Structure 1
Amino acid sequence: MNWKELDKTSGLVDNVQMDEWLTHLGFSQKSIQTLYNPCELHSPKLLDNCVELCEALQTHIKNNEKIRIMGDYDMDGVGATSILYLALTFIHARVDYDIPHRIRNGYGLCKEMIDKALDDNIKAILTCDNGIACHEVIDYARENGLYVYVTDHHTPSSVLPNANLIVHPQIGAYPFPYISGAQVAYKVASLLLDNSKALKKKKDNLRKYLLQLSALTIVSDVMPIASADEDLSQVNENRKWLKDGIKSIQTEPDWHLKMLMDYQEVNQETFDEQSIGFSIAPAINAVGRLHDAKLAVDFLTTDNKEDARRACSFIVFLNEERKDIKKQTMERIHLDESTSVNFIAQEGIHEGIIGILAGAYMNENNKTTLVMTDCMVDGQKAWKGSARGNSLINLYDTLQDIDDRKHLLYAYGGHADAAGLTVLDENLEEFKQEFCESVEKQEQGKVIEKTYVQIHNRKERLAFVEEIKKLKPFGNGLPLPIAKMSFNVSRIDLYYKSNHAKMTQYEMVFDHGKKSFPALELWLFGGLKNVKPICNEESFTMSDNVQRIMERDSVTENEAREIRAETYQRKKDKKANVNYLIEVGYTDFNGVGARYNVLEVDKA
């Protein structure tokens, strides 16, 4: 991977480093204005078939016919299901919901869910965050007398399913096609509430909660919250949507979300996109990964606070369990650093975390990664996998090419940088060879290039952070900037149990004639082995807590060394200049302030 310092400005903002970053992202004088003053939300009536769908649902309600919502098991699907269920319940529909089980059913509608609906005398199926690719299952449902209404946001093929109605932002003339499944659901729900004769205050209270739920999915489903393209920037409703949702949660969070925030110790007043991405969304996603996503919908839609407390407690437990399973699994897996592709096929990996593992390993060494675990398909041993790319190749096209040439895949799907697949056991070795060779051939001669701005001193760093505060929220379309900074590090702490490293340096500050040396702590999470080479005996004095652990825990020296902490204190007459590449943000988990996520370190 090559790092390149940015040096081109275009006068977009006064701060030189932020100007360099925004210029690199492609913003113009016109599109940058939408970062500060984004466009309003578009009318649901602009969404093709949205009016017709609401009319059809009202007819089912009038006829006292049962409606079943069928969602998905991630945050977007759970959010969409909850939004539609709450809105339809509010207008007195006979409605319930079903969500496929990640392992037993897989993604999307399945025949078993349709059979269950028929047994339960359901009249209409309303999908959310899925359905656009479920041609055969929808045909089966229609043949058995069910009405099927699809609301989805995934890329449609040239042939659409035979549903009664399809509401999709990429079908028709909707102004901005890149919204989540829950955002589509919010559009439908908003129109249903508009047509309701309920008191305005009651509708507004529900609408506020639905807005909060839909805003969460803009982050969890990585929807674009900014557009450098001038035309798109004028119609990108996601930025205003997310800002309004965050502000609403900061000031008046619905009690369900407040409960989940409290259980996770997320600060309400400083809630932001980082709170969603690192706390709320992973907790909801964990339910579908390790259990049954219907529990998450139960929690988000119940009126009973005691039931909610029990569900919330279990959701947080599952999230911690997910972290433990990931950690334990990664300890069992040993990457072959000599290969150009991370190909991991190991029995017993929990199917719910293979995507998380693929992302983690790809981020660790920037190699295209495929993680596979054993499963059963139609009575045969098979391997289910999740792939993550480094943007050098298109994963979906790669799988499609292999399947067209060799017919080795039982099933596959995805897009450029993420894909899922299933391979029968008898084809695994041949598929591994084909996949690795294809990736190596396509990536040959290509280099991952990342960019940074140079921060020279404390004054520039603080000014840069102020610009970041003004531009929040960050995300898809407006990634957090990366800065290079250099310090004479004073102390390095290595934590072998967590594999983290903390580097402390002291900055000279003059305030009203008084001199002080505040500490600046920089963490490289999971990066102990990257920092270790800096810790040489010439510049540092080392101490550890091995003896203390042995006495406290009654363990052997070898056991204590596995979980020890080492402290390297710089010698007074020595210098230890270090270059940091840092993702700079502004957020709050333990207090308001700048967030410095160290990506790489090396000796200056």
Structure 2
Amino acid sequence: MLSRTNPEPSGRRQKLPHQRWQIAPLQAEQAAKLAQATGLSPLLSQVLINRGFQTPQAAQVFLNPETQAMPAPMDEFPDLAISVEMLQEAIANQEKIAICGDYDADGMTSTALLLRALRWLGADVDYAIPSRMKDGYGINTRIVDELAEAGFRLILTVDNGISAHAAIARAVELGITIIITDHHDLPPELPEADAILNPKQLDESSPYRGLAGVGVAYILAVTLAQELGQIQGLTKQLLELFTLGTIADLAPLTGINRRWLRRGLRLLPHSELTGIQSLIQMSGVSEDQKALKPEDIGFKLGPRINAIGRLADPEIVIELLTTTDQGVALERAMQCEQINQKRQQLCEQIEQEAIAFIEQSQLNLQQERVLVIVQPDWHHGVIGIVASRLVERYGVPVFIGTYEDEDKEHIRGSARGIPEFHVFEALEFCKDYLGKFGGHQAAGGFSLPAEHLEAFRKSLSQFAHECLQPEHLKPLVSIDAQADFTHLTLQLYQQLDAFHPCGIGNPDPIFWTPNVQVVEQKIIGKGHLKLTFSQDNQPIKMTALAWRWGEYFPLPSRVDIAYKLRENTWNGNTAIELELVGIRLSSAPPSLTQKAEFYHNERRYTCSLSEALNELKIRNSEGKVLAIQKGQRIGLLGLTREDAKEVDVTQPHYYQLIKAATRALELS
């Protein structure tokens, strides 16, 4: 383990992440008013304002989403009623129903959800999932022909189908009823299915707009069970699968998703589903929590499910999530664990090979504005994860592919974007060179003949030049507010709980602190950094983790840091830690804090001015402190920040005191 205290790099160019920081403008007066109305700290009120919740009413709806009136799904989805009717009829007539899913976490949880629901409702139901390696994404004519031959009369797609014109046309030709449930972007023309349920058909203001495939499946299953009067005992099971799939698919945690996920995350630690119990046990997630956090799914449960779809047979996950046999569940959870370890090794290997290739090729990404990289012998199942890591590293959209055959005639790839770049629109722009493709704003998949690779690369670069400026080509760190280490208390962290679940569309609040000193740092695990920071003239030290930042070791001694807050419990003690997301060289000199002593109205005071924090502090002989940030009308008065009250410093007695302190500092 490498370790260093008070590091000061010498004789080499300091390497730090290549980032652009976007700091939200401070709105102190509005934040103070909102804090008074909500009971939150001004720091978190500022976060609410940044998210667009600027009034007490809007803030209360965000903090308590269950209080918001939601439209009924039947009123939102035009084809929901006919879909329920067709399924009711198929169940009543004992027609064979097939669910055609997909091999990612969303597709597999959607398939398991509908299998559980339809079996509960007495349907004759089975499922089919295409092979990632042989078929690629989504329903195809081979699957339709095989299902028809096996006597299935109704096909229900989940998390796919909206662009599968040939397969849907084949089903119609064979007289099979077909219902598409999907959430991917709509093609210019929709397939001729009997019914389509897709939130992208809804108005952008609809609370259902951000549903993942598993969310559409959940609505269909719950509505059907309600119509049949058999909902009792089913909802909790389905809500757990909805929660697992929605977070694992990186769906936006807004609207109806956020409302339902708050409930679902509370259910998961005490899951009714044998498979989820085994998965939690295998992945090391604490079962003592009142609720799981999105990161428990995003970094522990989700990857173990996704690894199966990437490298093995999705049937393992379907059985895991539908079985009631504890032995089978544990066996399948162990398979997920083993396959996930293999997935981690492959990702690491391919990422290092990709970085080496990029560095050796000396690609001018500022000129290209997009990274297209295709190499043989990479596993198609994991290149999407590597694409995400390359976006984090280089800050440009990444299209990564590998050859499907030994002759290197066909390429299949994955794409990941940055906020200003729409992946699906980019693929549409290049469709003349592509075979199959699909996706949404942030991610997509594609295939193409190898002979089209150079034309595809040029076309993508052309699209990128139309929507990206050079300043966009750095990983973006969006920051909510500046915080002093004294702000970062357990009380603040507990207030943060009302912001959860955080994720896509509702990101974790990001704070920043300028000019901190790196007291200690060391590399831990597989290239992570563990650090201790301090601020000038403050006894508080904060520990921090920086995932995958080992290559930046050692950090310079003075830096500005951007971070999320996390809780660390060890030996019964709970403390707040920082999770670094951004770092840059400090622009402030090591110490810009002035101090002075003065008398005002025959009372003794001490004062200090921190230029790095733009903050004046005045302390009286009883230890009470008045803290004011430069240019603000509202200050804090109290023995500690936790019990401090807000005061208007333009009032005469405060104003005169501040003038006396300022004069003392000028003379010091």
Q: Distance in 2 between matches of 1:475 and 1:431?
A: 32
Cα deviation for residue 191 of structure 1 reads 2.5
Higher mean displacement: 443-452 or 20-29: 443-452
The gaps in structure 1 that reach 5 residues or longer are 227-235, 511-516, 535-575
TM-score with structure 1 length normalisation?
Answer: 0.82
Higher mean displacement: 174-183 or 94-103: 174-183
Match of 1:187 among 199, 204, 219: 219
Cα deviation for residue 314 of structure 1 reads 0.5
Match of 1:583 among 555, 564, 569: 564
1:151 maps onto 2:181 in alignment: yes
1:259 maps onto 2:278 in alignment: yes
Higher mean displacement: 74-83 or 41-50: 41-50
Match of 1:479 among 490, 504, 507: 507
User: 1:389-404 alignment to 2 at 5 Å?
Assistant: 389-403=417-431
User: 1:240-259 alignment to 2 at 5 Å?
Assistant: 240-259=259-278
Verify the 8 A CA contact 1:45 1:51 in the aligned structure 2.
yes
Cα deviation for residue 252 of structure 1 reads 4.5
Cα deviation for residue 305 of structure 1 reads 2.1
Any idea what SS the aligned residue of 1:54 has?
helix
Deviations 1:350-390 (A, max 9, x none): 0011111110110122122221111149x871111212222
Q: Which amino acid aligns with 1:22?
A: L
Verify the 8 A CA contact 2:477 2:582 in the aligned structure 1.
no
Verify the 8 A CA contact 1:362 1:389 in the aligned structure 2.
yes
User: 1:29-428 alignment to 2 at 5 Å?
Assistant: 29=55, 30-38=57-65, 39=68, 42-46=71-75, 47-171=77-201, 176-196=208-228, 203-226=231-254, 236-270=255-289, 271-333=292-354, 334=356, 335-336=358-359, 338-340=363-365, 341-376=370-405, 381-403=409-431, 407-428=432-453
Q: Which residue of 2 aligns with 1:430?
A: 455
Cα deviation for residue 239 of structure 1 reads 1.6
Structure 1 residues 451 and 124: CA distance shift in structure 2, 3 A: closer
Structure 1 residues 147 and 17: CA distance shift in structure 2, 3 A: same
Any idea what SS the aligned residue of 1:126 has?
strand
Q: Distance in 2 between matches of 1:167 and 1:286?
A: 28
Verify the 8 A CA contact 2:101 2:159 in the aligned structure 1.
yes
Q: Distance in 2 between matches of 1:166 and 1:590?
A: 53
Q: Distance in 2 between matches of 1:76 and 1:603?
A: 40
Match of 1:530 among 549, 552, 557: 552
Q: Which amino acid aligns with 1:181?
A: G
User: 1:424-503 alignment to 2 at 5 Å?
Assistant: 424-436=449-461, 438-440=463-465, 442-447=467-472, 450-452=477-479, 453-460=481-488, 462=490, 464-485=492-513, 486-495=515-524, 498-503=526-531
Q: Distance in 2 between matches of 1:494 and 1:275?
A: 23
Verify the 8 A CA contact 2:273 2:321 in the aligned structure 1.
no
Q: Distance in 2 between matches of 1:152 and 1:444?
A: 33
Verify the 8 A CA contact 1:251 1:269 in the aligned structure 2.
no
Higher mean displacement: 28-37 or 279-288: 28-37
Any idea what SS the aligned residue of 1:76 has?
helix
Q: Which residue of 1 aligns with 2:45?
A: 19
Deviations 1:495-544 (A, max 9, x none): 5x72222212468999xxxxxx786321222112223252xxxxxxxxxx
Cα deviation for residue 317 of structure 1 reads 1.2
Match of 1:601 among 583, 590, 602: 583
Verify the 8 A CA contact 1:509 1:518 in the aligned structure 2.
no
Q: Distance in 1 between matches of 2:427 and 2:338?
A: 36
Q: Distance in 2 between matches of 1:110 and 1:595?
A: 49
Structure 1 residues 41 and 509: CA distance shift in structure 2, 3 A: farther
Q: Which amino acid aligns with 2:384?
A: G
Higher mean displacement: 380-389 or 444-453: 444-453
Structure 1 residues 409 and 91: CA distance shift in structure 2, 3 A: closer
Cα deviation for residue 584 of structure 1 reads 2.9
Q: Distance in 2 between matches of 1:589 and 1:51?
A: 52
Q: Which amino acid aligns with 2:279?
A: L
CA RMSD of aligned residues (A): 2.9
Any idea what SS the aligned residue of 1:240 has?
helix
Any idea what SS the aligned residue of 1:266 has?
coil
Larger Rg: 2
Cα deviation for residue 245 of structure 1 reads 0.5
Structure 1 residues 127 and 438: CA distance shift in structure 2, 3 A: closer
The gaps in structure 2 that reach 5 residues or longer are 1-18, 587-668
Q: Which amino acid aligns with 1:369?
A: V
Higher mean displacement: 46-55 or 279-288: 46-55
Higher mean displacement: 39-48 or 321-330: 39-48
Cα deviation for residue 64 of structure 1 reads 2.3
User: 1:545-584 alignment to 2 at 5 Å?
Assistant: 576-584=557-565
Q: Distance in 1 between matches of 2:141 and 2:519?
A: 63
Deviations 1:211-255 (A, max 9, x none): 1111222322333323xxxxxxxxx22222000101122345432
Structure 1 residues 417 and 62: CA distance shift in structure 2, 3 A: closer
Deviations 1:319-356 (A, max 9, x none): 11111110122222213365214332111110011111
Verify the 8 A CA contact 1:480 1:585 in the aligned structure 2.
no
Q: Which amino acid aligns with 1:295?
A: I
Structure 1 residues 585 and 521: CA distance shift in structure 2, 3 A: closer
Cα deviation for residue 263 of structure 1 reads 0.6
